Amino acid sequence: MPDAASRKVLLTGASGVLGRFLAVELASRYPGLVLTDILPFPGEVPEGARFVQADLADAEKIAKVAEGADTIIHFGGVAVEKSFETILPGNIVGTVNVFEAARVNRARVIFASSNHTIGFYERGKKLSVRDRPRPDGFYGVSKLFAEDVGSFYFDKFGIESVHIRIGSAIREPTEIRHLSTWFSYPDLLRMVIAAIEAEKTGHALLWGVSANTRSWWGEDDAARIGYRAEDNAEAFADKVAADPDDPVARRFQGGSFTSQGYGRAPEGKS
């Protein structure tokens, strides 16, 4: 890997909420940053970066956008629970297109995975990234697909990837669940930079969460890439509202995603 300043970085999902934050923060650190999204970039493209509009499902376009990249930060795709047909092009086909481009360019992939890979664990259960996944929808399944594509591309081709299972990446926690799942913007940025600049990562799985007193997520590969969380949602404990009045969402770590279309009888009933 070249030294930090000469990294050739591509960011997918650049027009999204987290993408726009990362675009601004990374543009000054990595000159020549390339931004891409299916939607136009809202507002001015940060100085030192350039934007290319492209659909992740378009293999040819993604191959072209990724030419010369040594790092691909892959944050693009459908970011909420939807039908399988809606998830398929961006999250499944798109992820394969990104890893193929990474293979051709020998690039490292940093992927925005999600807590919805494990959403059906009960709240309070402390998890390791080695625990069996329990996705709470097609969205969560698509994130596991990407984690596994990363594993396959590392074992077969030596392509490294860092998969960040993001909890709740928002400016401030607003409800009780966030006291466990909050991932501050500064911690997100620190983790992405550590993942870009680590000498070696192999295939790494990380919890995208701050150092929250009430976190449910423990063992992961953060130390291996030289990252330590600094923020703690507990500082907002007096300000947050109660979680929505939804017994299924209140029971499981994935919150409201778990109760969408939930079809099981209440506990104890057949």
Ligand X SMILES: NC(=O)c1ccc[n+]([C@@H]2O[C@H](COP(=O)([O-])OP(=O)(O)OC[C@H]3O[C@@H](n4cnc5c(N)ncnc54)[C@H](O)[C@@H]3O)[C@@H](O)[C@H]2O)c1
Q: Where are the beta strands (DSSP E) in 129-213?
A: 161-166, 203-208
Q: Does 77 bind ligand X (CB under 6 A)?
A: yes
Residue owning tokens 């990380």: 206
- The amino acid at residue 85 is E
Active-site residue flag, 139: yes
**Closest C-alpha to 54, from 43, 65, 70, 44:** 65
Q: Does 10 bind ligand X (CB under 6 A)?
A: no
Q: Does 169 bind ligand X (CB under 6 A)?
A: yes
Q: Does 96 bind ligand X (CB under 6 A)?
A: no
Is there a contact between 63 and 105 (Cβ–Cβ < 8 Å)? no
**Closest C-alpha to 210, from 228, 196, 236, 195:** 228
Nearest to ligand X of 19, 133 (CB atom): 19
Q: CB of 22: closest distance to ligand X in angstroms? A: 9
Q: Does 107 bind ligand X (CB under 6 A)?
A: no
- Tokens found for residue 130: 């080695």
Q: Does 136 bind ligand X (CB under 6 A)?
A: no
- Choose which of 25, 55, 131, 148 interacts with ligand X (CB under 6 A): 55
Contacts to ligand X from residues 225-264, by CB under 6 A: none
- Tokens found for residue 263: 């079809």
Q: Where are the beta strands (DSSP E) in 125-254?
A: 161-166, 203-208
Q: Does 173 bind ligand X (CB under 6 A)?
A: no
Task: Provide the binding-site residues for ligand X, judged by CB under 6 A.
Answer: 13, 15-19, 37-39, 55-57, 75-79, 89-90, 94, 112, 114, 166, 168-169
What residues are labeled active site? 139
